Amino acid sequence: MKQKIVISTLLTPFLFASALKAEAVDLSKVKYLRGQQGDACGALLCLAGGMSGGACAPYIAKYFAIKLKKPHETATARRNFLNLCPTASLSGSDKKFDQWQNTILPNVDGACTKEELNRTEKSKTPIRTEEQYDSKGNVKIVSIYGYRINPLPTHSCQLLMNHEYFSKTIHYTCSKEFYEENDWNNGYTKEEISKGAFDNLEENLRLEEEKRIEISFLEWKKLPSSEKTTQSFDNGDKTFYKYYKLEPIYFKKHFIKKDCWLVKDKIVVNK
């Protein structure tokens, strides 16, 4: 059987007043609405309560599935869909509700969820530069960009939060620091530590790498193969080599928090 939403024949001022006060909305005494009326009312209620999962998931999905070629066409289609909900008791008499239903909601493109807020942002300028060698041994300057979870709300969240019928609070809990791309992709930064400190760490915090130390060819020849390496550079007719000694280097991992947005719903739907 098609899932039904428990809602009043009209979305009364009481319903949204409860949302504003962060009270539970008791829908047990009201009748069922089916079909597109129920879907439209469900979208209105769930967006007001800042809910996108659970029982709200199908209503939110149907609402945002309304998408046409041009933004203004999408907004019009979504507005028409929301107006299928019988809200005659509020329409016209409540200008703020009219704004919510006919201006705010048709122009949002997300439900202001943690998943949408926790989006990756790349720094607009490099956070540092470093020298690297190309295959011919030439030095080139490489720009290193930073990444983080965007500390600004999405455009949709800003629209929703600025209206009193929206019943959700959000809070950014990370440091706003940018992390180098390699660290971001790895999921952690690394701190160089002593071998003794390394041995005392929990296994999941340990990271061991090899450090290359440039040495002469004569020094390189004396080392066992497991403790040395080379790097070749092709310069036209001739190949050049750099010789390195390998030494272990020990790190402690510091995991990067990427679940930065705390989202709380102020409204609870009693089914």
Domain ranges for the chain: 34-111, 117-152+171-183+257-265, 188-255
**Average pLDDT for residues 245-263, to the nearest whole number?**
96
**Res. 194: pLDDT tops 90:** yes
- Looking at residue 7, its pLDDT comes to 41
pLDDT level of residue 154 (50, 70, 90 thresholds): very high
Q: What is the pLDDT of residue 53?
A: 63
Give yes or no for residue 149 having a pLDDT over 60. yes
**Residue 45 confidence (pLDDT):** 78
Q: Is the pLDDT of residue 26 over 60?
A: no
Instruction: Look at the block and give the residue holding tokens 């020094």.
Output: 219
- Enter the pTM of the model: 0.72
- Give all strands (DSSP E) within the chain, no chain letters: 5-6, 24-26, 32-33, 120-122, 128-133, 139-144, 146-149, 168-172, 179-180, 188-193, 206-215, 228-235, 238-255, 261-265, 268-270
Strand 228-235 and strand 188-193: the pairing is unpaired
pLDDT digits (tens, 9 = 90+) for 232-246: 888 777 888 899 999
Least confident of 43-52, 120-129, 148-157: 43-52
CA diameter of the chain: 91
How does pLDDT run across 50-109, given as a tens digit for each residue?
666 677 788 888 888 998 889 899 999 999 998 888 764 455 566 778 888 888 888 888
- Measured CA to CA, the distance from residue 63 to residue 78 in angstroms comes to 7
